[in-house]
Structure 1
Amino acid sequence: MITELKNLSESEIDLLKKIPAMVTILIAGADDQISKSELKEAVNLTKIKQSKARRELLSYYQEIAPDFEKSLNELLNSYPQDAEVRSKVVIEDLEKLNTVLNKVDKDWATQFISSMKDIAKRVAESAGGVFGYMSIGYEESKLIDLKMIEVPS
């Protein structure tokens, strides 16, 4: 159990655990093509973050990383195939996070949002540019700042 989440319901914790996969699907699918390199980058990143995440988030990543690839694939299969429809549904799901983040420590929430933006950026960079790396496409750039997720006040 992640101590920062002890005051949340089971469904709220479940939502929080799915957020990195949702961010991956949103950004990877922004250009209508979800590439294996984008999905692989997200899986590798969650593994790395088990030991190299911000101190506040280590237990979170240690909890989600072992099953992340399976969760990502299940979530990907549950969303609509049409990119535009999928993006709208994922954004609606991500917006549900705002209520949950108001129930946790503000510093933890701020670190969490920053970490999700890092995932968004790294996934976006993994599929574009010269030799397919380090460039963010136009559609991805419109979503990468995750404006639908708000820092609690």
Structure 2
Amino acid sequence: MEKQLEKLSHEDRMLLLRAPALVSMLAACSDGGIDRKEKADAIELSHLRTFTSPPILHPYYKEVEKIFEEELERMIQMYCPMGEPQEQMLKEEVEKVYEVLDQLDEKYRLELWISLDSYARHVGSVHQHFLEFFVFPLSIRGITE
């Protein structure tokens, strides 16, 4: 991981380390704001990823964990309440993350992209009840969406 981050400028490296907080904010704020449950879940996930992510990403998530809570709090102050201008700024910052990913080796880039995508999905689904996946395993507009 260190070799991957060494390829990047300091600014790009920090953006990549803030990426889980960025995608958490974007996913959680899709309904207007981030609540305590979404925030707590995102913070817990930042810790869990230090050992549940693919081994190639463990060092990355150990670095993320050091700054995650502070970054998430900073983003909450910056983007909430979430309006259209704030959402657009947040989306632009997330797009920059994907531009930085293009500078990394293919395997690392793919693993990190998949991990960030699942991170966003997890935080965005905090309020779904586990029975929903058994009763309504398919996506049904108006019921599960």
- Seen in structure 2, the aligned counterparts of structure 1 residues 33 and 99 have a Cα distance that, compared at 3 Å, is closer
**Overall identity of the aligned pairs, in %:** 25
Hey, what's the Cα distance between the residues in 2 that align with 1:31 and 1:45? 20
- Report the alpha carbon displacement of residue 107 of structure 1 after superposing the two structures with TM: 0.9
CA contact (8 A) 1:8 1:103 kept: yes
Matched AA of 1:34: I
Counterpart position of 1:85:
85
- Report the alpha carbon displacement of residue 86 of structure 1 after superposing the two structures with TM: 2.0
Hey, what's the Cα distance between the residues in 2 that align with 1:19 and 1:73? 14
Counterpart position of 2:61:
61
Hey, what's the Cα distance between the residues in 2 that align with 1:15 and 1:104? 14
Hey, what's the Cα distance between the residues in 2 that align with 1:80 and 1:37? 16
What do the CA deviations read for 1:118-146 (whole angstroms, capped 9, x no partner)? 11111111123479x8799x8xx99xxxx
Counterpart position of 1:51:
51
What do the CA deviations read for 1:68-112 (whole angstroms, capped 9, x no partner)? 111110122122523322221111111112321121111111111
CA contact (8 A) 1:30 1:83 kept: no
CA contact (8 A) 2:46 2:61 kept: yes
Hey, what's the Cα distance between the residues in 2 that align with 1:130 and 1:102? 35
Counterpart position of 1:24:
24
Higher RCO, 1 or 2 (CA under 8 Å, sep at least 6)? 2
Hey, what's the Cα distance between the residues in 2 that align with 1:72 and 1:104? 24
Hey, what's the Cα distance between the residues in 2 that align with 1:98 and 1:48? 23
Hey, what's the Cα distance between the residues in 1 that align with 2:43 and 2:37? 10
- Report the alpha carbon displacement of residue 12 of structure 1 after superposing the two structures with TM: 0.3
What do the CA deviations read for 1:2-33 (whole angstroms, capped 9, x no partner)? 32111100000011011111101101010113
SS of residue in 2 equivalent to 1:96: helix
Q: CA RMSD in A?
A: 2.6
Taking the TM superposition and a 5 Å limit, the aligned residue runs for 1:109-148 are: 109-129=109-129
Counterpart position of 1:151:
none
What's the TM-score once normalised by structure 2's chain length? 0.83
Hey, what's the Cα distance between the residues in 2 that align with 1:50 and 1:9? 23
